[in-house]
Structure 1
Amino acid sequence: MKLSLKRLFARSMTGGLDPAAPPAPAPPRSPGQQTLLVAIALVLALIGTVAGGYYFAMRPVLLKIAVGPANSDDVKVVQTLTQTFAQTHGYVRLKLVQTDGAVASAEALSKGNVDLAIIRGDLDVPKNAQAVATLRKNVVVIWVPAAKGKKKSGAKITKIAQLAGHRIGVVGRTEANVNLLKVILQQYGVDPGKVEIVQFPTTEVAEAIRNQKADAYLAAGPVNSKITAEAIAASAKESGEPTFLAIDLADAIAQNHPAYDAADIPAGAFSGSPDRPDDEVKTISFNHHIVARKGLSDTTVAALTRQLFAARQQLMAEFPLAAKIETPDTDKDAVIPAHPGAAAYVDGEEKTFLDKYSDYIWWALMALSATGSLGAWFAGYLKRDERNTNSHLRERLLEMIAQARRSDSVEELDQLQSEADTILRDTLRCFEDGAIEQGALVAFNIVLEQFHRAIADRKLLIATMPQNLQRAGAQFRAMGTL
């Protein structure tokens, strides 16, 4: 049975309203409407909270990275990565903080002034540093220029053990390379105090070789280092092809100093001649690392590592040094422990947004469901009085049907009609508030139909009765009430 609220109003209200009367003011919002508005507000608030949380979790993060010295390859790599991250709108952005070198970068990280740093693995590693990636692997190259002029009469140096009493030139101003040379000399039983160590800036190496300021030279950098290749080429130009000294005790050095590894320089590694060197040369290597401070978020570091290796693929063609970036050592006994975020990326265990927050989302939905159920129960509890009242009104309407069938007065029937109008208003208000359901409204409609029929039938009967019978019936009823 389809129920029309408009029809209910039309049937019950036509006799009791003045068409000429001004329209009634709009009634205030019912409790049901207020409940609906509150529910909509809560849903919108929940959606806003989720959206805000997602934006907060995924907004770009700016990390400061310490690197130096100025104009070094490391600075160029970081500058390129910074531009790439900004152009690709990555989750992680970089801000370069230039330092005097790896030692100063490590100190900046140790003090918490930066989030990331590029450090040498053979230096003191800050206690709060954890590896994100290996920026590059460096090899040690020791060579002796060919004898020239008056030095031809001297004994030819072919082994590291023969360096005692000679002058050794170290390429670069960093003290770390001098310490590296001392480690090598000590492994061969050569007292570092019995050699003269001279350092040359990278821009003065060619001049030092030309003026024969040292008997042997040491350089440290990638196998394809431009600085090392130019220094060796300068030696070859001045006095002929140099002699490369093998570090055949590299395994022993690596055993005694975990920061170093045994490595090989392949034949022809240095440009300018296929015989430079003419055979594979054994040496030691060490790494430059990108490290993060220990307290940095796992999510942030995982995103950084992912962006880093994605950018490496894009930069290899235009920036060959980017090809040297490698994943960190995730073994538990690594010299520099891997950051958990970087390890998660390397091991394929990186968590997505849903992985990280699914528990919170699930609990939020459960809480929302429980809140909704509790709210529905509470709303039903508050409306139980309305339901009971409406049930009594329906019973009263049934009584009014019987009363209308006994009535002999039009005035009394009009009073019953007016009371029915009031009951109808209350019933419709209860329906709008949700206190009664559609089925209860249908039942009320059936009773109301019967009431209207009883009123109409009784009025018709009274209209056809003689006036004297009406007066007699009224007097009889009046006597019955005495």
Structure 2
Amino acid sequence: MSAEVPTPPPGTRRSRPSFLNSNRRQVILFAVLTLLLSGATVWGGRVWLRDSETLTFAVGEANGPEARFAAKLAAMLRATSSRLRLRIIPNADNTRALTQFDRKLADLAVLRTDAKIPPRARSIAILEHDVLMLISPGDKKIKSLAELKKKKIALLTSSSTNLAFVRKVLEIPEGSDTNARLQLAPANSMIDKLFTSGGYGAVIALDHASAIVRDKSFEQSARRAPFTVNALDESTALTRRYPGISEETLATGLLSSTPQIPDDDLDTVGLHWLLVGQAAIPANTAGELARTIYENKAELALDDGFASKIEPADVDKSAFVAAHQGVAEYINDTSKSFLERYSDLLYLAVAALGVIGSIFVGLYTKVTRVAPEKASELATAILDIGERIAEAKTMEALEGLQDELEGVLRGAVIGLRDGTISSDGLDTFKLGYEFVRDEIGMRRESLKRQGGHDDNVVVVKTAQSA
């Protein structure tokens, strides 16, 4: 080669071409914009998906447990920023509330399992248990319901509606003379007083399990005059005969710790208070409502203890009131609750990333990207050198063209390495380079013959040029 091509000093680093820096900045900018716009899309989708949904809740009298529970639930939904809202519809009593529910004029209601169950009612949660206790004076035990029917009975309860339930358990028909033996005790009556002054041979106490635990009057009566709580041996038969009745257990020491009453776990019967919803409520709505209730049940307990131990709905197929489909799905597969809760947003995020990313990729590749120079475009510079070969009259001029050609080649090699030149048209560049290189060689031979130089002179001249 006639001239030495200068090389950069060792250790120096070639700066990145400006257009490559521009492309890199564009890629970073588009990536950031993709994430920001996808996040904005997901946020907007979350707002849209969480658009509030209002459920109507039919309740009985304002001071009843159903109305007070509904008010607590409505407040709790607001406090937890749930998308669900409640509109409470008051009624004169719970029977009318259930009628309203049965006519599809309400989405939610509270019912006791001895009530007439609307066919479209589906269980959301078990709010409370009512427990029946059969009590006899002293250490006298009542062995059967048949024996109980022969005694004068006082019904100690906070609700007069329980009278009909006890008649059903004792199988006392309406208008029977036996009705005289079953009398509603005055409110707040003491057990020992009913036995001593009332002349009753048995007392049936029926109330919320949460209220019984809090009631200290049983322990006070037991200290004044002992009494016995009897097991109801017919409990299994009664639950089979009357599907709305449930088997319950009276735990040891439930009524009194000193003395301990009862002195052992006893079988009895009772009722469930259920929060029910219309079967037509969407599964995700029912599931979200159930999840919110289960996770915040401590905040839903009333001051008198009602709903203090909320339980999940019975999802068994043989349940007296079937669980709502959305509630059953939540209870049976709680490990997937997170994915179920956010699956729509995850799908939206993936879709947003795909669409927005594709738009920016297309915009970058087709519009904003500064493309590297094609190798075929360098052929123009090579051909320009080739056109000037014929004008080279001296060896020095020809060597200058040789240097230009080698400079173009070196620039192409460096550009291919750095990415400033693409490989498009590389074959064309190679063909042009070889053609011009051969033309320079032939022109050199021609000048040698014209000048009478031999090979040694040429070698010396080349060395001097170097």
Same fold flag (TM > 0.5): yes
- 2:211 aligns with 225
CA distance in 2, matches of 1:163, 1:106: 33
Cα drift, residue 131 of structure 1: 1.0
- 1:259 aligns with 244
**Partner secondary structure for residue 311 of structure 2:** coil
- Summarize the Cα distance change of 1:350–1:70 in structure 2 as closer, same or farther, 3 Å threshold: farther
Structure 2 counterparts to residues 325-340 of structure 1, below 5 A: 325-340=310-325
Residues 1:344 and 2:336 aligned together: no
**Partner secondary structure for residue 84 of structure 1:** helix
Q: Give the count of matched residue pairs.
A: 373
Q: Which amino acid aligns with 2:45?
A: G
- Bigger drift between 65-74 and 358-367 goes to 358-367
Asked if the contact 2:41/2:352 (under 8 Å) is kept, the reply is no
Q: 2:109 aligns with which of 114, 117, 125?
A: 117
**Partner secondary structure for residue 324 of structure 1:** coil
Residues 1:128 and 2:111 aligned together: no
**Partner secondary structure for residue 344 of structure 2:** helix
- Summarize the Cα distance change of 1:275–1:343 in structure 2 as closer, same or farther, 3 Å threshold: same
CA distance in 2, matches of 1:345, 1:201: 44
Structure 2 stretches lacking a partner, 5+ long? 1-34, 368-419, 426-466
Cα drift, residue 350 of structure 1: 7.3
CA distance in 2, matches of 1:298, 1:166: 50
Q: Which amino acid aligns with 1:196?
A: N
Cα drift, residue 346 of structure 1: 1.3
Residues 1:196 and 2:183 aligned together: no
CA distance in 2, matches of 1:276, 1:192: 34
Task: Name the structure, 1 or 2, with higher relative contact order (CA <8 Å, separation 6+).
Answer: 2
- 1:152 aligns with none
**Partner secondary structure for residue 46 of structure 2:** helix
Q: 2:157 aligns with which of 171, 177, 180?
A: 171
- 2:344 aligns with 357
Q: Which amino acid aligns with 1:56?
A: W
Cα drift, residue 156 of structure 1: 9.6
CA distance in 1, matches of 2:203, 2:335: 46
CA distance in 2, matches of 1:140, 1:297: 36
**Partner secondary structure for residue 220 of structure 1:** strand
CA distance in 2, matches of 1:223, 1:44: 54
**Partner secondary structure for residue 56 of structure 1:** helix
Asked if the contact 1:173/1:201 (under 8 Å) is kept, the reply is no
Asked if the contact 1:157/1:163 (under 8 Å) is kept, the reply is no
Asked if the contact 1:170/1:219 (under 8 Å) is kept, the reply is yes
**Partner secondary structure for residue 219 of structure 1:** strand
1:138-180, Cα deviation, whole Å (9 max, x unpaired): 2112334679xxxxxxx997653242474543634453x2332
Asked if the contact 1:267/1:274 (under 8 Å) is kept, the reply is no
Cα drift, residue 134 of structure 1: 0.9
Residues 1:137 and 2:142 aligned together: no
TM-score w.r.t. length of structure 2 = 0.58
Structure 2 counterparts to residues 179-218 of structure 1, below 5 A: 179-186=164-171, 193-194=175-176, 195-196=178-179, 200=184, 203=187, 205=189, 209=194, 212=198, 216-218=202-204
Q: % of aligned pairs identical?
A: 22
Q: 1:65 aligns with which of 57, 61, 86?
A: 57
More helix, by proportion: 1
Residues 1:244 and 2:229 aligned together: yes
Cα drift, residue 120 of structure 1: 0.8
Cα drift, residue 298 of structure 1: 1.8
CA distance in 2, matches of 1:158, 1:315: 39
Asked if the contact 1:135/1:287 (under 8 Å) is kept, the reply is yes
1:271-312, Cα deviation, whole Å (9 max, x unpaired): 485343344433112211111111112222222222212212
- 2:447 aligns with none
- Summarize the Cα distance change of 1:266–1:354 in structure 2 as closer, same or farther, 3 Å threshold: closer
- 1:393 aligns with none
Asked if the contact 2:154/2:184 (under 8 Å) is kept, the reply is no
**Partner secondary structure for residue 296 of structure 2:** helix
Asked if the contact 2:245/2:271 (under 8 Å) is kept, the reply is yes
- Summarize the Cα distance change of 1:91–1:350 in structure 2 as closer, same or farther, 3 Å threshold: farther
Q: Which amino acid aligns with 1:260?
A: I
Q: Which amino acid aligns with 2:128?
A: R
Asked if the contact 1:302/1:350 (under 8 Å) is kept, the reply is no
Structure 2 counterparts to residues 378-389 of structure 1, below 5 A: none
1:229-265, Cα deviation, whole Å (9 max, x unpaired): 467568669x833443432110111122232232221
- 1:403 aligns with none
- 2:13 aligns with none
Cα drift, residue 228 of structure 1: 9.0
CA distance in 2, matches of 1:226, 1:304: 29
Q: Which amino acid aligns with 1:185?
A: L
**Partner secondary structure for residue 221 of structure 1:** strand
CA distance in 2, matches of 1:178, 1:287: 16
CA distance in 2, matches of 1:232, 1:102: 29
- 2:384 aligns with none
Cα drift, residue 213 of structure 1: 8.4
- 1:277 aligns with 262
Q: CA RMSD in A?
A: 5.7
Q: Which amino acid aligns with 2:131?
A: V
Q: Which amino acid aligns with 2:208?
A: P
Structure 2 counterparts to residues 5-154 of structure 1, below 5 A: 51-144=43-136
